[in-house]
Amino acid sequence: KAGVTQTPRYLIKTRGQQVTLSCSPISGHRSVSWYQQTPGQGLQFLFEYFSETQRNKGNFPGRFSGRQFSNSRSEMNVSTLELGDSALYLCASSVTGGLNTEAFFGQGTRLTVV
Amino acid sequence: DQQVKQNSPSLSVQEGRISILNCDYTNSMFDYFLWYKKYPAEGPTFLISISSIKDKNEDGRFTVFLNKSAKHLSLHIVPSQPGDSAVYFCAASERALGGGATNKLIFGTGTLLAVQP
């Protein structure tokens, strides 16, 4: 069974540009969550999608957005990139998205903003 | 406001001995706790979890203990192996407002475990 797949693995962008990251969850998983990992802030929750609807959102500015498609694949978009957006972006999928379910992570996309 | 805290940034243990990683939390609404292992530039790998209605869960060499009154949980690895060397994250899940489901995880800052051969 394939795991969570994130593309691309590495990305370099310039300040002011926008970027789209992709996540394909484990087959059968309907919940997809996104996290940002930085050395200073650790792993922080961005948002969660379930059945194409955003179900929960973290404390990030509106420049960070996402969506989920009918096949559960998800994308996140960051507009007007800032240097501080440089981070490892992680996607996690869960079976039902209910309580007490484990989240399985992809390998992440390393975004560098120059 | 750090709701999940791992106060030990690093821990060094001899191979074959027990590793004990600790985690404290402040939010009494947390009802599910998980431990993840992470290598650099990779995503976290799920290890073990525990519901707030239990005080212990065991899976092979890994055991998680939960003390709700102290808002404390710990991960025991025994015996420790060099391949266990990684960063370990404690995470907690809270019931969403209105009681609905959510997969929002709040992570601690991690503990770097080094198992010496």
Question: Which of A42, A90, A101 lies closest to B43 in CB terms?
Answer: A90
Specify the pLDDT at position A6.
Answer: 97
Low-confidence ranges of chain B (pLDDT < 70): 1, 95-102
Chain A positions in Cβ-Cβ contact with residue B49 (cut-off 8 Å)? 100, 102
Cα angle B64, B66, B68; round to 5: 170
Count other Cβ atoms within 10 Å, centred on residue B102. Answer: 20
pLDDT grade, residue A97 (50/70/90)? low
Does residue B34 sit at the A interface (CB-CB below 8 Å)? yes
Residue B74 CA from chain centroid, whole number? 6
Closest CA–CA distance from residue A47 to any residue of chain B (Å): 8
pLDDT grade, residue A61 (50/70/90)? very high
Starting at the edge strand that comes first in sequence, how are the strands of the sheet with A19-24 ordered? A5-7, A19-24, A74-78, A64-68
Chain B positions in Cβ-Cβ contact with residue A107 (cut-off 8 Å)? 41-43
pLDDT grade, residue A33 (50/70/90)? very high
pLDDT grade, residue A23 (50/70/90)? very high
Q: Does residue B79 have a cis bond before it (omega within 30 degrees)?
A: yes
Specify the pLDDT at position A5.
Answer: 97
- A36 strand-pairing partners: A44, A89
Interval B29-43: pLDDT, tens? 888 899 999 998 788
Specify the pLDDT at position A40.
Answer: 77
Chain B positions in Cβ-Cβ contact with residue A108 (cut-off 8 Å)? 41-43
Minimum CA–CA partner of B48 in chain A? A102
Chain B positions in Cβ-Cβ contact with residue A106 (cut-off 8 Å)? 43
| Cβ pair B66, B54 in contact under 8 A | yes
Instruction: Tell me the percentage of chain A whose pLDDT exceeds 70.
Output: 95
